[in-house]
Amino acid sequence: MSPDIPAGQQAGTHERRASDSLLRTLADSVPVSIAYFDSATQKCLFANRQYADSNGWTVDSIVGRTTEEVIGAQAWQAIEPHVLRVLGGERVTYSRALELPCGDRRQIEVNLIPHFSTAGAQIGAFVLITDITRHFRVEQALRESEERLRKFATATTEGMVFHQHGVISDVNDAVLSILGHVRDEMIGRHTLDFVPADARERVFDYMRSASEFLFECEVLHRDGHRVPAEIIARTIHRDGQNHRLVVLRDITERRRAEARIEYLARHDALTGLPNRSFLAERLEGMLALARRREVVAAILFIDLDNFKTVNDSLGHQAGDELLKEVAGRIKGALRDADIVARFGGDEFLIALGDLGAPGDATRVANKLLSVISAPLALGGRQIYVTPSIGISLFPRDGNEVDELIRAADSAMYRAKDSGRAGFQFYSPSLSEGADLALAKESTLRAATANGEFVMHYQPQFAVEGGRLSGIEALVRWRHPQHGLLAPAEFIPFAEARGMIIPIGRWVMHEACRQVRAWRDLGYAVPRMGINVSGLQFRREALVGEVAQVISETGIAAADLELELTESCLVDNSATSDKLGALRRLGVAIAVDDFGTGYSSLSYLKRYPIDKLKIDQSFIADVCAGDQAAIATAIIQLGRALGLRVLAEGVERAEQLAFLRQQGCDDVQGYLCGRPLPAAQFAQVHLPPAGFADA
């Protein structure tokens, strides 16, 4: 646009009209609002259609109006400073919001350009207005989204890094706390500077391929340690360029939890030793190596001999302590390369990967025997546990893991059978031992079915007055080949195989039936003591069965006394409930073999107990030293708690004299009467009913 054209004063000639018309056409076709104002009068000399329209004028009516008239007083107020500046000869650009007469809101950019005559005097000003609404809105949206992003970036614990071709342009606070850097140390550096050398290639590939999938890699903390991270990146297009936004999550905690879960799945929680499944894995590896190197390997199977007693009498917590201690001792006795695992319960398994000679296994077994058998302090007392150890050798006793474990296991049983606290090597004849046990189990089952058990009865007498105060029922097995067998020969076996349950049921029924039968024959019958094994006692059904037997045989509950060992009287609510129910039924409770358990004795006050039976091991030498002290203490304890005290195994007159002197209530033993079959017992010991009452 020529600066001289808008001079309206030059009107008149044909050329001028032509050029006016050309100007008008041009001005009306550009997408810009155009106007020209005279500097002296500030009146509009020219406006294109768009300018006139947008201010509510026509191209003719606008001419001669002042700026204020054209745009209205309010807008004038807003732009007056700009106008003053252009009148001062300055080129001015500004942008402002504009409300169109139709109510539309637009954003415009205004350029005010001073116009000078050739002489250099200011004669007017051009106004060029561009509608930048669309551009403005895009920019505003961008600003808002950046604002949102910034807020989000500061609020999240996920690290965010912006980079372009690897060069970091921005980071959020979370990245700084994950990596331990301050912002200035990161901006402008390459992202790979924060990745450990061995992971750089992988990260570089990820960046180069503009990948957007989640991947895990380690990043470097300022102090040099590696931080496990989960990373996902996105490509963002901006200003015609590709930027990368990297979101980085610190997964240290998750990794730690995963490692812990993995550890727990492979280790025994109590002892921290490898568990059974991890053991199998490691044994496979060990055997593979032994096969390759053609060396001898050994498996030692360890079972603790008296763990159950400790566990039952001192409680599970003490049992756990014991297992931990034993695990520690076993580990301490072996080399790091040896494998030690808890196999379950009180069983441990040890694998020695490379024996110089089979004799090495003997040396290790001896060492284990001595470290495990050393006394240990548990709950303020000295406990002794011993191991039974079975040993199998690779390749002599088997080629596979399972085979070798089975062999070591059966060797362990032989060690138990030969008196415990020792070790045995596997020998093929051991599997015959297993067959024998099986045969024994089936004959014992048959014995139950064939009625091969018989009861013998032993009398108990009151020390004062010598009256028959009770009877103990003792079972025997009339074996078709071996004759009459004592309980020691089959009760432990029956307990181990669970067969004590049917046997115990038969015993209870038979003893109660006998009481009733004797009564029917006219005898006075005192209370009948029946031995109840731990397994029987722990069964839910016990109380119901006792009640049933009483009603079936027609005796009174008061005729019955259950003999329990200390290991039954574990401190828990089930024990307490069961004893309470038996007491309500009217059955008496005696503690058998008293003094041989590891009990804390606190149960004596808590549980409804009627009688203590001092174990015969304390009576054998009762007239001398220690045993006298123990027996005396038990008698006094019983008296203090209001319990009857009976001494078992009284064989000699001086024992009886001592017990009488100490105030023991009852005695049982060969001195006064051996266990006898029912008929003989009645003849020797039972008085006729009327006689006893007298």
Name the residues that contact Mg ion, by CB under 5 A: 531, 563, 592-593, 648
Q: Whole-angstrom Cα distance, residue 389 to residue 407? A: 12
Tell me if 675 contacts ligand C2E by CB under 6 A. yes
Residues near 420 by beta carbon (within 8 Å), at least 6 away in sequence: 305, 386, 388
CB of 416 to ligand C2E, least distance (A): 19
CB of 670 to Mg ion, least distance (A): 14
CB of 507 to ligand C2E, least distance (A): 4
Q: Whole-angstrom Cα distance, residue 534 to residue 311? A: 13
CB of 563 to ligand C2E, least distance (A): 6
Over the window 453 to 492, marking each residue x when it contacts ligand C2E by CB under 6 A and - when it does not, the resulting string is: -----x---------------xx----------xxx--x-
CB of 499 to ligand C2E, least distance (A): 11
Burial of 605 (0-12, 13-18, 19+ CB in 10 A): exposed
Q: Compute the 3-state secondary structure of the chain and give helix, strand, coil in percent, each to the nearest 5.
A: 45, 25, 25
Over the window 552 to 571, marking each residue x when it contacts ligand C2E by CB under 6 A and - when it does not, the resulting string is: -----------x--------
CB of 544 to ligand C2E, least distance (A): 19
CB of 668 to Mg ion, least distance (A): 9
Which residues in 420-459 contact ligand C2E (CB under 6 A)? 458
CB of 668 to ligand C2E, least distance (A): 6
Q: Which is nearer to ligand C2E, 158 or 648 (CB)?
A: 648
Given 33, 250, 669, 682, the residue binding ligand C2E (CB under 6 A): 669
Over the window 489 to 508, marking each residue x when it contacts ligand C2E by CB under 6 A and - when it does not, the resulting string is: --x--------x---x--x-
Q: Which is nearer to Mg ion, 424 or 458 (CB)?
A: 458
Summary count for the chain: helices (H), strands (E)? 25, 27
Over the window 513 to 532, marking each residue x when it contacts ligand C2E by CB under 6 A and - when it does not, the resulting string is: ------------------x-
Q: Which is nearer to ligand C2E, 407 or 590 (CB)?
A: 590
CB of 659 to ligand C2E, least distance (A): 13
Question: What is the CB-side half-sphere exposure of residue 236 using CA atoms within 13 A?
Answer: 16
User: 393: which strand partners?
Assistant: 298
SS3 478: strand
Place of tokens 């051991």: 430
Tell me if 634 contacts ligand C2E by CB under 6 A. no
Burial of 429 (0-12, 13-18, 19+ CB in 10 A): exposed
Q: Whole-angstrom Cα distance, residue 597 to residue 628? A: 18
Residue 251 near residue 230, CB atoms below 8 Å:
yes
Residues near 165 by beta carbon (within 8 Å), at least 6 away in sequence: none
Over the window 578 to 597, marking each residue x when it contacts ligand C2E by CB under 6 A and - when it does not, the resulting string is: --------------xx----
∠ CA 322-326-327, rounded to 5°? 115
Tell me if 107 contacts ligand C2E by CB under 6 A. no
Given 512, 649, 659, 682, the residue binding ligand C2E (CB under 6 A): 649
Q: Whole-angstrom Cα distance, residue 83 to residue 81? A: 5
Write the DSSP string, 337-406: TSEEEEEETTEEEEEEEEESSTHHHHHHHHHHHHHHHS-EEETTEEE---EEEEEEEETTT-SSHHHHHH
Binds 533, which of ligand C2E, Mg ion, none (CB < 5 to 8 A, cut-off by type)? ligand C2E
Terminal CA-CA length for the chain: 149
User: Tokens at residue 313, please?
Assistant: 């009498």
> Segment near ligand C2E (CB under 6 A), from 157-165, 264-272, 568-576, 648-656?
648-656
Binds 92, which of Mg ion, ligand C2E, none (CB < 5 to 8 A, cut-off by type)? none
Which positions touch ligand C2E (CB under 6 A)? 458, 474-475, 486-488, 491, 500, 504, 507, 531, 533, 563, 592-593, 616, 648-651, 668-670, 675
